[in-house]
């Protein structure tokens, strides 16, 4: 067991048996449940909306980690709050007034994160890094589960950790996309302390065991 937080993404769950899937996560070593909201505009896919997240929230005993892949995050922050969000992460590339959005999330008493697409440098967060509870480094292009991990992520995690050491040692450094037991140790050694895993967990024969394997040091 180690301190790295694991957040299975329900995007890869079987929505025909969502209550059972959430119950499985409740019984597992998962620390958070990762909720991917997509609007079909910021990313070329649509996932699910608040009727679904409300149903998940009702069943979940683990905290919810909302990842908003949408162009107008500000308009939906209160919906996320009503749906029990403990963390809300918005995309750097989608927010014109990122500082204002972060302040709005924190003003609701919710942890605030910023997600970076694979092409977006961590250094662009220099002037806001100390205000963040979390930085989410996308290790695939957002929009779909089951994609291949992009190795340059390791360099970005190292940079995020350097910046954390300088101004925000408690920040969560979350990695999202293509996370498996083939890369989780290296991600942690570079400084990641929160890992999202979708298809690796839900497509496995024994998801509870797979989640536990991501907790092994
Ligand atoms: C991708 C989502 C991810 C996705 C991860 O846009 O943000 O959270 O569910 O899925 P895997 O682990 O299958 O890459
Ligand atoms: Zn995600």
Averaged pLDDT score across all residues of the chain: 98
Tell me what pLDDT residue 208 has. 98
Give the number of the atom of ligand 1 that is nearest the alpha carbon of residue 141: 6
pLDDT in tens, 105-148: 999 999 999 999 999 999 999 999 999 999 999 999 999 999 99
Tell me what pLDDT residue 197 has. 98
Q: Whose CA is nearest to atom 4 of ligand 1?
A: 145
Q: What are all long-range contacts of 15-21, with beta carbons under 8 Å and residues at least 24 apart?
A: 15/48, 15/52, 18/52, 18/55, 18/56, 18/59, 19/59, 21/202
Tell me what pLDDT residue 16 has. 97
Catalytic residue among 31, 36, 39, 65: 36
Q: How many CB atoms lie within 10 A of CB 210?
A: 20
In terms of Cα–Cα distance, which of 95, 180, 86, 172 is closest to 140?
Answer: 180
Dig out the tokens for 59 from the structure. Answer: 């069943």
Q: Is the pLDDT of residue 83 over 80?
A: yes
Q: Sorting pLDDT into bands at 50, 70 and 90, what band is 215? A: very high
CB 60 within 8 A of CB 27: no
CB 195 within 8 A of CB 181: no
Q: Cα(135)–Cα(175) distance, rounded to whole angstroms?
A: 9
Q: Cα(70)–Cα(63) distance, rounded to whole angstroms?
A: 21
Q: Cα(210)–Cα(208) distance, rounded to whole angstroms?
A: 5
**How many whole angstroms from its chain centre is CA 91?**
11
User: Whole-model pTM above 0.95?
Assistant: yes
Q: What residues have CB less than 8 Å from 61, skipping those under 6 apart?
A: 26
Q: What residues have CB less than 8 Å from 83, skipping those under 6 apart?
A: 50, 53, 54, 56, 57, 64, 66
Q: Is the pLDDT of residue 2 over 90?
A: no
Tell me what pLDDT residue 217 has. 77
- The SS3 of residue 215 is helix
Q: Is 176 tagged catalytic?
A: yes
Dig out the tokens for 9 from the structure. Answer: 């993404």
Q: Is 36 tagged catalytic?
A: yes
Dihedral Cα 156, 161, 167, 171, nearest 10 deg: 100
Catalytic residue among 39, 65, 133, 176: 176
């Amino acid at each position: 067991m180690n301190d790295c937080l694991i957040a299975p993404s329900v995007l890869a769950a079987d929505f025909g048996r969502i209550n059972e899937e959430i119950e499985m996560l409740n019984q597992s070593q998962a620390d958070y449940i990762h909720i991917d909201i997509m609007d079909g505009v910021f990313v070329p896919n649509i996932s699910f909306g608040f009727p679904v997240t409300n149903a998940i929230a009702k069943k979940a005993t683990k905290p919810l980690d909302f990842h908003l892949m949408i162009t107008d995050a500000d308009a939906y922050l209160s919906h996320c709050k009503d749906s029990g969000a403990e963390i809300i992460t918005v995309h750097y590339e989608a927010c014109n007034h990122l500082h204002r959005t972060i302040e709005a999330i924190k003003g609701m008493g919710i942890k605030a994160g910023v997600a970076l697409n694979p092409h977006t440098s961590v250094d662009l967060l220099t002037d806001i890094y100390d205000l963040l509870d979390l930085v989410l480094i996308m290790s695939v292009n957002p929009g779909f589960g089951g994609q291949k991990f992009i190795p340059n992520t390791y360099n970005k995690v190292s940079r995020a950790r350097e910046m954390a050491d300088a101004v925000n040692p408690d920040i969560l450094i979350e990695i999202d996309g293509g996370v498996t037991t083939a890369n989780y140790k290296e991600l942690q050694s570079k400084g990641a302390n929160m890992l999202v895993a979708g298809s690796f967990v839900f497509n496995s024969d024994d998801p509870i065991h797979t989640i536990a394997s991501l907790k092994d040091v």
